Structure 1
Amino acid sequence: MASTLKGNSGREYIKNAILRQYPKAPEFNIHRASCGGSLFVVKRVSESFFHLSKELEEEFRESKRLRIYIDCNKAEHTLIYDHYKNTLLGLLEKYPNFPPIEIKKILRYTGNAIKELYEKDWIYIVALGDFNLALKLVDQQPLRAPQAVGNAIWRSPEGQSGKGIAKPSDIFSFGLVCIYSLGGGPILILDNEIIQGLKDNGMPDVLYKSASEITDAEAVDDPDARFERWSRDIAPHLDSDAKKMILQMVNLDPLKRATIQEILHSSWW
């Protein structure tokens, strides 16, 4: 049976489908809803994230690049967003021949959105469309968390360990998004069992170190496995300028990663 939520604006949203289900905490299920012939996403969040989202909305209310909620219900700590049919990942899966020039425009737009956040010391931690993962840095100090932070596919090494999360962590994740978008998706996407394991347990430092050693050893046996040697057979839209830019984004040392300003000034654009 459909239920109705009334926003602070006075509009009533009729929930008609569950977009994401949380069996252990069904009150946080994410719903699709309709109002006035349009579709919306209705998302209940914790009290702390609700207040954080309010702060974000106040700072970026006029933004044309960031996905800010358009209504809310304060009493129920619920946010209402415009409904989009696809994520970037879903779009490229559905349209594998999506024009490369349009992919570049989307990535450029994303880079400018990240720059807009950084100018006010916010970080988005992997998912620009999900500001449950947005945090504001205090005095530019890196953040620490008791567990892995962010989507398992796009996490930086710091996100996996929950230690030292800062602007360079976002840059690493953006680099992975670029690799995926330019045709390297099949190499990046993990199977559901591995993703669930990372969600439940994170990636222990010893496992991360072992993974690095394994990949280094494999690259000795097969030099073409190194990212800088990838051909267009692996990632069809990945040219030399794109590889140069991405290599600066995914350096394992956060202090050596490119800044968002350096990325936006890359010759690839």
Structure 2
Amino acid sequence: MSSTPIDSKEYIGQSGRKYRIERVLQEEAFPPRQVYVASADDQKFILKYIHTVNFDDLQAVNNRLCSNASHVRLAQDTIPEKSMFAFEYFADHLLHLAQKDLPLNTVKRILKDALLGIAEMHDRDIVHTDIKADNIFINWKSHQNEVIIERRSPEAHAQGPVNKPSDIFSFALVCIYAIHKRVIFAVGEEELEEGVDPLAIIIERQISYFADEDGLNGLLRFLGDNPWVRVFEVIRDGFNKDNPRKPFSLWKGVDEDFKSLICAMTHLDPEKRVTAHEALAHKWFDGI
């Protein structure tokens, strides 16, 4: 993550803590986006601008979780006049750390703790809406050529239009990335023909990797009169012997228990997708 120095500034949080800005991680005028590394009381924090429209909602989410959610990255303080939240500083995120040659059980521990955080939010009817590898924050250190994981946590987001099963599907993609270092829905420019919407390619891969007749029919019922239903139907009908599906359940070199977990989390029918607690109880996490 790139960063630049910044002229010294000091913000005072509602707690009375004085934050001294050290570095700019992100700063954009439109849409407004500000993320700073700051120090206070010999600790590091992340100060993050929250759009004023979302500030009260996110504060309410934070308040609902603060008393009994131990696996979610929550705001430690707020700076209302700057519309900022102060978060505990984490050294890294899973998008970067997964590129290291980590032991399998270490990766499983990270994923299980992240899933526990999702379960804590879902238990309170809070939907994350933006689950991805760089939103799973991790503190780690190197010791005798080993990576020691100290703490890991997904960041809480305000409620949005997606639902709990959407979070679980997104988390399954994070798991695939963490274990196999593949972003399976990423669409490169070289794959795009003129006039083709990248989303159409993503839908084609969703159907190819994770659909069966029951799941796809359930998804179409769930979508109702959504205009994307017709797109799903056209893409579904485009598979044939010359353009066969490539089900994840048949991929080579993938552990069978991991396949089972991923297929349960990516069932196309949201009503049949496993919950966070059901995923936590899966055999793949045994002993973690």
Tell me the TM-score normalised to structure 2 length.
0.68
Give me the whole-angstrom Cα distance separating, in 2, the residues matched to 1:220 and 1:205.
25
Among 61, 66, 77, the residue aligned to 2:72: 66
1:170 shift after superposition: 0.7
Q: Is 1:49 the counterpart of 2:54 in the alignment? A: yes
Separation of aligned partners in 1, 2:262 and 2:30: 38
What does residue 252 of structure 2 align with?
231
C-alpha change, 1:23 and 1:46, in structure 2 (3 Å) is closer
- Asked whether 1:125 is paired with 2:135, we answer no
* Deviation sequence 1:107-156 (CA, Å, 0-9, x none): 1112221111111111111336443x331xxxxxxx64xxxxxxxxxxxx
The 1:208–1:99 alpha-carbon spacing in structure 2 relative to 1, beyond 3 Å, is: farther
Q: Give the whole-Å Cα distance in 1 for the aligned partners of 2:86 and 2:284.
A: 36
Q: Structure 2 stretches of 5 or more lacking a match?
A: 1-6, 136-153, 192-196, 204-226
How far 1:207 sits from its partner (Å)?
A: 9.5
What is the deviation of 1:265?
Answer: 1.7
1:57 Cα deviation from its structure 2 partner: 2.2
Query: How many Å apart are 1:48 and its aligned residue?
Result: 3.4
- Which amino acid in 1 is paired with 2:107? I
Q: Which amino acid aligns with 2:83?
A: H
The yes-or-no answer on 1:104 pairing with 2:108 is yes
Structure 1 counterpart of 2:250, one-letter code:
R
Matches within 5 A, 1:50-199: 50-62=55-67, 63-93=69-99, 95=100, 97-127=101-131, 129-131=154-156, 133-135=157-159, 144=161, 165-191=162-188
Count of aligned positions: 227
Is contact 1:219–1:226 with CA below 8 Å preserved after alignment? no
Q: CA separation of 1:219/1:70 partners in 2, compared to 1, >3 Å: closer, same or farther?
A: farther
What secondary structure, in the 3-state scheme, does the structure 2 residue paired with 1:123 have? Answer: coil
- Give, in angstroms, the shift of residue 191 of structure 1: 4.9
CA contact (8 A) 1:20 1:30 kept: yes
Assess if the C-alpha contact under 8 Å between 1:126 and 1:174 holds in 2: no
| Alpha-carbon RMSD | 3.1
Identity of aligned residues (%): 26
| Aligned pairs (5 A) from 1:257-268 | 257-268=273-284
Structure with more of its chain in strand, by fraction: 2
Cα distance in structure 2, aligned partners of 1:105 and 1:11: 33
2:18 is aligned, of 9, 12, 35, to 12
Which secondary structure does the structure 2 equivalent of 1:32 belong to?
Answer: strand
Matched, 1:38 2:43: yes
Deviation at 1:47, TM superposition (A): 2.6
Q: Residue 242 of structure 1: CA displacement?
A: 1.0
Q: Give the unaligned 5+ runs of structure 1.
A: 136-142, 145-164, 233-237
Cα deviation for residue 212 of structure 1 reads 4.5
The two structures have a TM-score, normalised by structure 1, of 0.73
Q: CA deviation at 1:49?
A: 2.0
Greater relative contact order (Cα 8 A, min sep 6): structure 1 or 2? 2
Instruction: Determine the C-alpha separation between the residues in 2 that align with 1:114 and 1:193.
Output: 35
Matched AA of 2:111: L
Q: Which residue of 2 aligns with 1:161?
A: none
The superposition leaves residues 221-242 of structure 1 with CA deviations (integer Å, 9 ceiling, x where unpaired) of 566x42111122xxxxx41011
Larger C-alpha radius of gyration, 1 or 2?
A: 2
Deviations 1:206-263 (A, max 9, x none): 896389549x73886566x42111122xxxxx41011011111112221221122221
Structure 1 residue 217 corresponds to structure 2 residue 223 = no
Matched residue SS, 1:21: strand
